Amino acid sequence: MSHQHSITPHDQARILAEALPYIRRFHGKTMVIKYGGNAMTDTALQAAFAQDVVLLKLVGIQPIVVHGGGPQIETALHRLGKKGEFVQGMRVTDAETMEVVEWVLAGEVQQDIVGLINHAGGKAVGLTGRDGGMIRAKKLRMPDQQDASKVHDVGQVGDIVSIDPGVVRALLEDAFIPVVSPIGFGEHNESYNINADVVASKLATVLKAEKLLLLTNTQGVLNKSGDLLTNLTARQIDKLFADGTLSGGMLPKIAGALDAARSGVSAVHIIDGRVPHAILLEVLTDQAFGTMIRSH
């Protein structure tokens, strides 16, 4: 705890004063936060994340949390002796696996996050895409990387058809913090597991959110020399894809982020969830800690 006492009252006042213009600018605005990776599994980072979300709410910003849970699903399947099968990096989700995905995401993980936020002084409410008919989905069709005419069946993995954010809006207006599990439903009432980055990006777009914050296990977007690129436009991101600077695991994350930036979300931030209070540092200070992607 000693580091907290090393800040002088003068520094503390200066820090609060620096946050003021940002608080004023974002007051009443919606922010969608994708929560996953280290930030989700490290106890100290969990507490810092929950405090950040509660602080945003208290200063009049409207946070919505969308969470992942890959490692937790892996652990649960392992306990049941179920071997994970992957096609092109995508988990094949049969009916039994989907059941596990639902109780891990909508049960354990979601309620852990709700508990953390409530413990930090907020009023969190857990939802899945079923609640309020929020996320309609259909089966994801996954073309083969080598042969585009061939489509892989990865089971109950979903693509978003539409999002009805009514239930989220109602909660936001009523002092609650929604915590959304990325599960959608199909036309025959079947469940679909959906990529959490995609859910966060689409939800931010539908809500015309001021910001979409994606917590990752990287510093942000790096150039070929490994330096952090703090401020990019959608067009510059396209160039980074074209020249091969961006590839691998960043592709799905940034594809969703780009869609959101092009579709009315003012700014998308890719930030390092391994840094305590990464959200506050990015949203309420002058210093850029991650990569901000602006629509133009």
Residue 60 CA to residue 153 CA, distance in Å, equals: 44
**Phi/psi of residue 156, nearest 5 degrees:** -85, 50
Q: Do residues 142 and 88 make contact, with C-beta atoms less than 8 angstroms apart? A: yes
Instruction: Check if the beta carbon of residue 112 is closer than 8 Å to that of residue 119.
Output: no
192-210 confidence digits (pLDDT tens): 999 999 999 999 999 999 9
**Cα-based angle 92, 214, 144 (whole degrees, multiple of 5):** 30
Model confidence over 181-192: pLDDT tens digits?
999 999 999 999
Strands 191-193 and 183-185: antiparallel
pLDDT tens digit sequence for 86-144: 888 788 899 999 999 999 999 999 999 999 999 999 999 999 999 999 999 999 988 88
Q: Is 161 strand, coil or helix?
A: strand
Q: Of all residues in the chain, what percent carry a pLDDT higher than 70? A: 96
Q: How far apart are CA 53 and CA 33, in angstroms?
A: 9
Q: What whole-number distance in Å separates Cα of residue 182 and Cα of residue 176?
A: 19
Query: How do the domains of the chain map onto residue ranges?
Result: 27-217+227-294
Written as six digits, the tokens of 9 are: 């009252």
Residue 208 backbone dihedrals phi, psi, to 5 degrees: 50, 50
Q: Between the CA of residue 80 and those of 84, 118, 151, 253, 272, what are the distances in Å?
A: 11, 31, 29, 30, 33
Look at residues 10, 8, 14, 3 and name the one whose alpha carbon lies nearest to residue 48.
3
**In this prediction, what percent of the chain has a pLDDT beyond 90?**
63
Task: Check residue 208 and give its pLDDT.
Answer: 94
Half-sphere exposure of 24 (CA within 13 A, CB side): 6
pTM of the model: 0.93
Q: Look at residues 271, 235, 274 and name the one whose alpha carbon lies nearest to residue 253.
A: 271
pLDDT digits (tens, 9 = 90+) for 138-193: 999 888 888 888 998 999 999 999 999 999 999 999 999 999 999 999 999 999 99
**Is-contact 184 194, C-beta < 8 A?**
yes
Q: Is 5 left (phi over 0), alpha (psi -120 to 50) or beta?
A: alpha
Which residues participate in the annotated binding site? 69-70, 91, 193
- Estimate the crossing angle of helix 110-119 against helix 43-58, to 10 degrees: 60
Res 96: pLDDT: 93
- How far apart CA 225 and CA 281 sit, in angstroms, is 24
CATH class of 27-217+227-294: alpha beta
Instruction: For residue 290, give Cα distances in angstroms to 29, 163, 214, 231.
Output: 20, 28, 10, 9
DSSP-H helix ranges across the chain: 2-5, 9-26, 38-41, 43-58, 70-79, 95-102, 110-119, 166-172, 196-206, 234-242, 250-262, 278-284
- The residue with greater pLDDT, 33 or 262, is 33
Per-residue pLDDT tens digits for 233-291: 888 888 888 887 877 667 767 788 888 888 889 999 999 999 999 999 999 988 878 88
Residues comprising the binding site for substrate?
Answer: 69-70, 91, 193
